[in-house]
Amino acid sequence: MKTLRSIEKEINPKNPFEDCKLDREKYADNLTRIIENYPSGFVMALNNRWGDGKTFFVNRWRAKLKEKEGFQVVYYNAWEDDYSENALVSIISEITEDIENNDKKLLDIVLEKGTGLFVKSLPVLLKIAVKKLAGKDGYEDLATLIGEEMGKPFQSLIDEYKNQKKTVEGFREALKAFAEKAGNGKPIIIFIDELDRCKPSYAVEVLEIIKHLFSVDNIVFVLSVDKEQLANSIKGYYGSDQIDGTEYLKRFIDLEFSLPKPQLGKFVEATFEALHFNEHFITFRNQYGQTVDEKPQLLNFTTTFAQNKNLKLRATKQLLSKLRTVLYSFHKNDYTIPNILLILIYLQSTEIEVFEKIKKKEISIEELLKINKELLFSGNSPKKSKIPNAFNRHELILYSLYSNYLNEHFVIDLTDVKNKENFQSRFEKVSIDFESLYNYLSNQGNFVFETEYMIDYLIEKIELSETLKFNN
């Protein structure tokens, strides 16, 4: 099914990492061993940029922790809940939902001790505490009682401080007892995802809660964040560039780990699957009965291109996301030419002047082929000789699309190839690799290469899709 959103696949509890194409299960296993060796509790930051696969990794790691390793696991998406008036209420709510076979008596004590910490957040608190302590029928009486207490004046700031300190100590003691019993000899692991995307005030509140209320034995926090973004949020919260957000975070984070950059080819393949490219290629083959499988060609082409341009993983994913959107704008019977689309989308995104010159017919075929080669083979990519057939086919299609756009109808058939000298004369004005092209076409058997399509056919699709803004 075509979708504009990245839909999380159902995870196989027996083998949570079976669909991980980046070989990251080994990192999860290493982190699990660290948690087992430090059960007294700590805060770990999983620090990677957006688009590096943190959430994908975390979802499979916590599934393995729960299903295969026997840990009690809590998951809290902070960004989805940053509208909440009190982060403590939200975190405790997730604990009550996710911890299995919890001791109700100990949990009730945690809730009772915690009440004094967040009486100012009654509407949210009561949804949790009333169900656990008073039952549904006691809602109105309890709300009235606490409301009356809030209206009483404080006797002194000192009394307030002492009472608050006792409340915190009582809450931590109750939480420690609950974690020891509920964890069954293992620490409870609380994952907090997307904290860096929260409102600065909420992000700071969550960090302070973790530090001052949840620093007890048998509770481990894993913060899945972009640490640089989170540091910027902290600066924004305090309203000063004098605040060093990175140093501030050291108060809260005991251990930091970053997922290593994956092999580019594996990353591209995983992105293809995440963006549902398979649906396009299946439809394409069904409609045209192609003997050439477009998917591996596009995989290799994208990898070569991204490597040559030294694109970051995030930029590569964004480029493929745009390509996916453009491909889905075609009808099932349309010819799509994804390799050429990828080049044009890149030019339109990063080298708009070149894109506009192509659109206005202001560059020659010779210049276009030169630009094409520079995009693919001028920098860090493998030599062209390693992918001759794919490149020759790509270059031939690009040549024909632009020739037709310049009103030069382009046809090659078997007769042309048999007469090598005449065939070569057709390309004498351009820097196309004639020998490679000739050898490629000579091995294709009976064929006629002809297309009525022009490059503006693809340009129009790209510009139409550009009017839509997708945040993938």
| 241/270 same-domain check | no
Q: Which of 178, 183, 180, 213 is nearest to 65 (CA)?
A: 183
| 242/280 same-domain check | no
Q: Check residue 98 and give its pLDDT.
A: 86
Domain-located, residue 18: no
Q: Which of 227, 376, 216 is nearest to 300 (CA)?
A: 376
Residue at a domain's end among 209, 225, 257: 257
- Identify the burial level of 453 via C-beta atoms within 10 angstroms of its C-beta, where 0-12 means exposed, 13-18 middle and 19 or more buried: middle
Domain-located, residue 163: yes
Dihedral (Cα; 219, 74, 37, 27), 10-degree rounding: -140
State how many domains the chain has: 2
| 225/292 same-domain check | no
CATH number at residue 196: 3.40.50
Give the structural domain span for 226: 25-257
Q: By the 8 A CB rule, do 314 and 51 touch?
A: yes
Domain-located, residue 17: no
* Chain-centre distance for alpha carbon 157: 47
| 239/311 same-domain check | no
Q: DSSP secondary structure string, 328-365?
A: TTS-TTS---HHHHHHHHHHHHH-HHHHHHHHTT-S-H
pLDDT in tens for each of the 472 residues of the chain?
555 555 567 899 999 999 898 999 999 999 999 999 998 899 999 999 887 889 999 999 999 999 999 999 999 999 998 888 788 888 988 988 888 766 666 777 777 777 766 544 433 333 434 334 444 444 455 455 455 445 445 455 566 667 777 878 888 898 899 898 888 889 999 999 999 999 999 999 999 999 988 999 999 999 999 999 999 988 888 877 777 888 889 999 999 999 998 899 999 998 998 888 877 776 554 444 444 467 788 898 899 999 999 898 889 999 999 999 998 888 777 778 888 999 999 999 999 999 999 999 999 888 998 898 888 887 655 555 444 556 667 777 888 788 888 876 655 555 555 566 665 555 555 555 656 655 655 555 444 444 567 888 899 999 988 766 555 5
| 196/303 same-domain check | no
Query: How far is residue 442's CA from residue 436's CA, in Å, rounded to a whole number?
Result: 10
| 198/142 same-domain check | yes
| 249/375 same-domain check | no
Query: How far is residue 91's CA from residue 78's CA, in Å, rounded to a whole number?
Result: 9
Domain-located, residue 10: no
Q: What is the gyration radius of the CA atoms in the chain, in angstroms?
A: 30
| 421/307 same-domain check | yes
| 250/278 same-domain check | no
Q: Check residue 389 and give its pLDDT.
A: 58
| 238/308 same-domain check | no
Q: Check residue 162 and give its pLDDT.
A: 72
Residue at a domain's end among 206, 237, 257: 257
Query: How far is residue 420's CA from residue 435's CA, in Å, rounded to a whole number?
Result: 10
Residue at a domain's end among 257, 283, 299: 257
Domain-located, residue 343: yes
| 67/180 same-domain check | yes
Could you write out the three-class secondary structure of 65-130?
Answer: HHHCCCCCEEEEECHHHCCCCCHHHHHHHHHHHHCCCCCHHHHHHHHHHHHCCCHHHHHHHHHHHH
| 113/47 same-domain check | yes
Domain-located, residue 350: yes
The secondary structure of residue 447, as a DSSP letter, is: -
